[in-house]
Amino acid sequence: MAQRPGASPVPDPVPDRLDRRLGVADAVVVGLGAMLGAGVFAAVGPAAGAAGSWLLVGLLVAGVVAYANASSSAALAAVYPESGGTYAYGRRRLGPFWGFLAGWAFLAGKLASCAAMALTLGSYLAPGLARPVALAGLAAVTVANYLGVARTVAATRVVVAVVLAALAVAVAGMLFGGQAEPGNLAWPAAGAAPAPVPGLPPGAGAHDVLQAAGLLFFAFAGYARVATLGEEVADPARTIPRAVPLALGIVLAVYAVVATAALLAVGPAALAAAAAPLAEAVAAGRLAALEPVVRAGAAVASLGVLLSLQAGLSRTGFAMAANGDLPRALAAVHPRFRVPHRAELAVAGLVAVAVVAVDLRGAIGFSSALVLVYYAITNAAAWTLGRERGRRRPRWRAGAGLGGCLLLAASLPVRSVLAGAAVLATGTVLWAVRSARAQPL
């Protein structure tokens, strides 16, 4: 097993601790449930504010970086089919510190994502009672995950179908409501800067497109949910490499159609200013009666993403606890439901605290910064893979993913970058203290 020179040896994988129940279709559904909805209903507005008329270019850049990351995640998951995702890969390929830092970044970034999705749910269902509704939705999701991963996948399958139907309604309302104008795309000529967005700083350029891509990356990060369920996937060496790109490709196509329809309907300025971009884009046309359907779809999408996010978070916490990087009590598996129930409850409690404190748009930037660092470590780990189990994997994808993650992270709003850096510094200090004491937390 290749490892960074000087890295502490890491023991061989432990025997399976969770039941392997999920096939390719189930794994794709988990990825779709994690991705569909987050970008369309939450990140499109901030991204339009950054890139203006080049929103679709930002979407493409985010998709390319996500594909490179997906390739690295799939390659690593096939070699190390265990819970924890990059936390486990970083430990085995780069050393325990890098695994810990990946897990720390994932937990902090995704806790913010969970809070953002819960708040989106509340904002669409009952704007005046957003936080109480968000907490109620969080409680419902916690119960679903606690009852077992098979029930989680079944619920996610229903959510994905509802969200796709709502997005189809939204696209129809935007394109056939009478307000769609080709000029709203304002596509710049080759070599020209993006068209300015009224009310926003002028002079959008490459940095702004990269910032939009970093914000939209928030929408693509769900493909790793398949990898974090590594111990619950049947035949992971075959299932995970197939499920990850399938889920990513479907979501990229859906996002491209929806973003194009939204730009045609109201243009980037209105998207940037809207609290609920797709609902307001539909409401601007003759088919405004469809707006409640879109709002309901947004609520269901947020609930579906929250369902899958919480499952992935608990599995990463479970893996970190099993290795002593978090309190070992969190590594318990429920004797009946065969899920990491204590980790589930701990995640739910932390998200509930965040729901009371976070701002939706700020949470997106903060989450993106930390998740991009997480995937940078994923790509660094994949770079070390040689001919594992008879297969040689091209290094250029891992290198492109590593560079893309760091570039997008650095392009995010300064406040998000600084907050993410502070969280990583805190994790580094905790690691140093733990190592000095030579005992688990």
Tens digits of residue pLDDT in 34-55: 677 666 787 888 888 888 878 8
Q: Is the pLDDT of residue 32 over 70?
A: yes
Task: Express each pLDDT in 60-103 by its tens digit.
Answer: 999 999 888 888 887 887 788 766 678 888 989 999 999 999 98
Topology (CATH level 3) of domain 24-437: Amino acid/polyamine transporter I (1.20.1740)
- Say which range, 245-254, 326-335, 396-405, has the weakest mean pLDDT: 326-335
Q: Is the pLDDT of residue 184 over 80?
A: no
Residues 248-271: what's their mean pLDDT? Answer: 88
Task: Express each pLDDT in 134-145 by its tens digit.
Answer: 899 999 888 887
- Alpha-carbon distance values, 347 to 31, 138, 392 (Å): 20, 10, 37
Domain boundaries, the chain: 24-437
- What is the structure's pLDDT at 233? 65
Indicate the SS3 state at residue 229. Answer: strand
Q: Is the pLDDT of residue 420 over 90?
A: yes
- Say which range, 155-164, 346-355, 384-393, has the weakest mean pLDDT: 384-393
End-to-end CA distance of the chain: 28
Q: Give the burial class of 245: count Cβ atoms within 10 A of its Cβ; 0-12 exposed, 13-18 middle, 19 or more buried.
A: middle
What pTM did the predictor assign?
Answer: 0.78
Phi/psi for 65 (5° steps) reads -65, -40
**Residues contacting residue 429 through CB under 8 Å, at least 6 positions apart:** none
- Alpha-carbon distance values, 142 to 250, 305, 399 (Å): 27, 13, 37
In this structure, what DSSP letter does residue 81 have?
-
Tell me how far apart the alpha carbons of residues 197 and 260 are, in angstroms, rounded to a whole number.
17
